[in-house]
Amino acid sequence: MEQREATHSNPEPAASQTDVPKRIGSYTILSRLYDGSISTLYKAKQDRLGRVVALKTLKEWPPAHNMILERFNRATFVGAQVVHPNVPVLYESGTVDGYHFAALEYIHAQTLQELLAERTRVSERRAVWIGLQVARALSALHAKRIIHRNVKPKNILVEPDGRVRLVGMGLAKVDAACFTQELDAQTIGTPHYMAPEIIRGCCTDPRSDLYSLGVTMYVMVTGRPPFAKGIPAAVMAKHLYEKPDALKQLDPDLSDEFVALVEHMMAKCPHERPESAEKVAEQLERMARRLYRDKLGGAPALAEPWHANIPWAALARGAGVFFGTLLAVFLLGMATYGTWAFFWNAEPAPAAPARSAPIAVPAERPTVAAEAQVEELQEPGNPIQERIRVEFLRLVKLEEGFRRDGWQGVGEWERFLRTFPDAPEELRARAQAEVRRFRQQEIERMGARAGRQDNPGGEDLEF
């Protein structure tokens, strides 16, 4: 069952600030954010570094029950093991001045639960964006052999710029000798979001977290859990044996791709769910890319005049892509012509051939470092290597255009990797790095845009 986590909540009334300690170790206490049954959360300033942190302390030291200390230490252990943009940063933990504490990144955000309380539901585009970031956080946890076991809207923080953080690690199953197995063996979590195998008390599979994420995404677009009525035992029984209401019946406007993914994640058997959180993140990223492009370039509704809601920004962007592609084709043609002219007019090579001179590239030269890297790897007289060289330098020259349209850069560099599987490892590594860079660039833009449009702001919250 759910045990309340004192990890994030609304601040207490001003009257509760009267007994706030002035200092805890090297931290100056600024205010109390939350006062729970087993822990207290403060906004504090780390004197030595001058940064504001969220300082979480146990209310009693030593605690009345070992399980309280175990949950607190599990959360700090996970924070120390996982460094990821969608997981809060742990600065330090320890015991000082009679306080057992953990100093964490101070986050200005609201929980997804609070966001849904304000709006009832969110758009499919917003749900995909939030789900994508949670899936990435879960992928990082699973890579460290950590199972979260309590994914739910209350443990998802949404910042004003659209960035998402996964918190609530006190119930996590960790593979470490320093923790007892008593907590791992319990049926523990929140009934509305628990996977069937956790209810049965046999959680050994990271795909349990995918079930909970699927339920969370179901809640985001419908405004209610799949099994909302009944006492906790009845809700858990429904998770074991009943099918939820079909998403298409609750919201016919949802895309088939979104519905299929959520239903796949909510399969009763772990082996029938997606293979991993990483696979889920990849599928959500493709959906986010499609929804983002549809929003920018979608045609107006049939009931509206033809000139209504014309996406002028998208048209301007499309024109830029068109002329940029035209320029790229022209430069590629010039490079091809230069290659043909060089070999046509070249004199016969001597008995001991020297390395052929590099082919001239079009006017706007790429960076000297990239050209030197290609020249060093090129084999003289090898036409395949020459094609690789020309194509690589062409993509480097389009760097400025890719900064404006990162998805074009992702597509071009991925095409390079597919077309030239035998390219030198150094060039393939560079191409893979460019794919990751431009993909991250566009995802950050999507998050900022989604945050500005959909999120009105929130409270000061913390891990």
How many C-beta atoms surround the C-beta of residue 434 within 10 A? 22
* 231 assigned to some structural domain: yes
Q: Which bin fits 145, alpha (ψ -120 to 50), beta or left (φ > 0)?
A: left
Whether the Cβ atoms of residue 317 and residue 171 lie closer than 8 Å to each other: no
pTM, to two decimals: 0.62
User: For 173-213, what is each residue's pLDDT tens digit?
Assistant: 888 756 665 555 566 778 999 999 998 887 678 999 999 99
On whether both 119 and 255 belong to a single domain, the answer is: yes
Count structural domains, the chain.
Answer: 3
On whether both 149 and 265 belong to a single domain, the answer is: yes
**Cα–Cα distance, 4 to 85 (Å, whole number):** 25
On whether both 181 and 260 belong to a single domain, the answer is: yes
On whether both 82 and 147 belong to a single domain, the answer is: no
CATH code for position 37: 3.30.200.20
The letter for the amino acid at 195 is A
The whole domain housing 60 covers 14-108
pLDDT value at position 409? 84
pLDDT value at position 9? 41
Tokens standing for residue 101 = 């504490």
Whether the Cβ atoms of residue 88 and residue 167 lie closer than 8 Å to each other: yes
* 463 assigned to some structural domain: no
On whether both 246 and 361 belong to a single domain, the answer is: no
On whether both 374 and 433 belong to a single domain, the answer is: yes
On whether both 98 and 119 belong to a single domain, the answer is: no
* 456 assigned to some structural domain: no
* 460 assigned to some structural domain: no
Q: Token match 């030198």: residue?
A: 424
pLDDT value at position 175? 80
**Cα–Cα distance, 198 to 204 (Å, whole number):** 9
On whether both 367 and 387 belong to a single domain, the answer is: yes
Residues 6+ away with beta carbon under 8 Å from 89: 79, 83, 104, 105
**Higher-confidence residue: 87 or 312?**
87
pLDDT value at position 451? 56
Q: Token match 């950590």: residue?
A: 146
* 3 assigned to some structural domain: no
User: For 356-398, what is each residue's pLDDT tens digit?
Assistant: 444 333 333 444 455 555 555 555 556 778 888 888 888 888 8
Q: Where does a domain end: 108, 123, 151?
A: 108
* 318 assigned to some structural domain: yes
Q: Where does a domain end: 77, 108, 139?
A: 108
Q: Which bin fits 31, alpha (ψ -120 to 50), beta or left (φ > 0)?
A: beta
User: For 18-73, what is each residue's pLDDT tens digit?
Assistant: 578 999 999 999 999 888 778 899 999 999 999 999 999 999 888 888 888 888 99
For 435, phi then psi, to 5°, come to -60, -50
CATH code for position 189: 1.10.510.10
Q: Where does a domain end: 74, 93, 108?
A: 108
Return the CA Rg of the chain. 27
pLDDT value at position 313? 57
For 35, phi then psi, to 5°, come to -130, 100
pLDDT value at position 341? 67
DSSP summary character for residue 59: S
* 442 assigned to some structural domain: yes
Burial degree of 85 (CB within 10 A; 0-12, 13-18, 19+): middle
